[in-house]
Amino acid sequence: MRIAIASDHAAVDLKAELREYLIELGHEVADLGPETADRVDYPDYGYKLASVVADGTAQFGVALCGSGIGISIAVNRDPACRCALVSEPLSAALAREHNDANVIAMGARLIGVDMAKACLDAFLSAEFGGGRHAGRVEKLSNPSF
């Protein structure tokens, strides 16, 4: 799979660990930055990640910041992205199965490397269930309010 990964300064170390893990699993990984722990703004990297997922350059995205909250909000500004903030494997799998999430977000200050890897495994191995969930997911990208 083609997977894009991005973070803010608080999650640079976790991003590096997960990038290498994904490569070891055989995925093609685009690291969208940043490269150092110098202060950056998470919306910039969330928007960059959303762009490559939305245009199909990457099939999935991994968004990381200190809490995972800010960068997930930024990614979700793009109607083509469904970014789920997760902290354990069940929510990661359900994000794919029920919500057809195409981006997973995690907080580097809240989750350890091993749990983050377990979340990635669950997310990437799950498939969208369709059925009763399909109409709901359609409404996420095409709201009628």
131 marked among binding-site residues = no
Average per-residue pLDDT in the chain?
Answer: 96
Quickly state the pLDDT bin for 145 (edges 50, 70, 90).
low
In the Cβ-directed half-sphere of 42, how many Cα atoms lie within 13 Å? 25
141 pLDDT higher than 90: no
135 pLDDT higher than 90: no
136 marked among binding-site residues = yes
Active site residue 133: no
Share of the chain above pLDDT 90, in %: 88
**In the prediction, which pLDDT does 72 show?**
98
Give the pair of three-digit tokens for residue 112.
């350890």
Given the residues 65, 81, 83, 119, the one annotated as active site? 65
For the segment 67-82, what is each residue's pLDDT rounded down to a tens digit? Answer: 999 999 999 999 999 9
Q: Which helix (H) or strand (E) holds 133?
A: helix 132-141
**In the prediction, which pLDDT does 136 show?**
87
CA distance 73 to 71: 5
Average pLDDT over every residue of 116-127 = 98
91 marked among binding-site residues = no
Residue 62, CA distances (Å) to 38, 108, 119, 139 in order: 20, 12, 11, 23
Contact between residue 141 and residue 80 where contact means Cβ atoms under 8 Å apart: yes
Active site residue 98: yes
Domains and CATH numbers, the chain: 2-141 (3.40.1400.10)
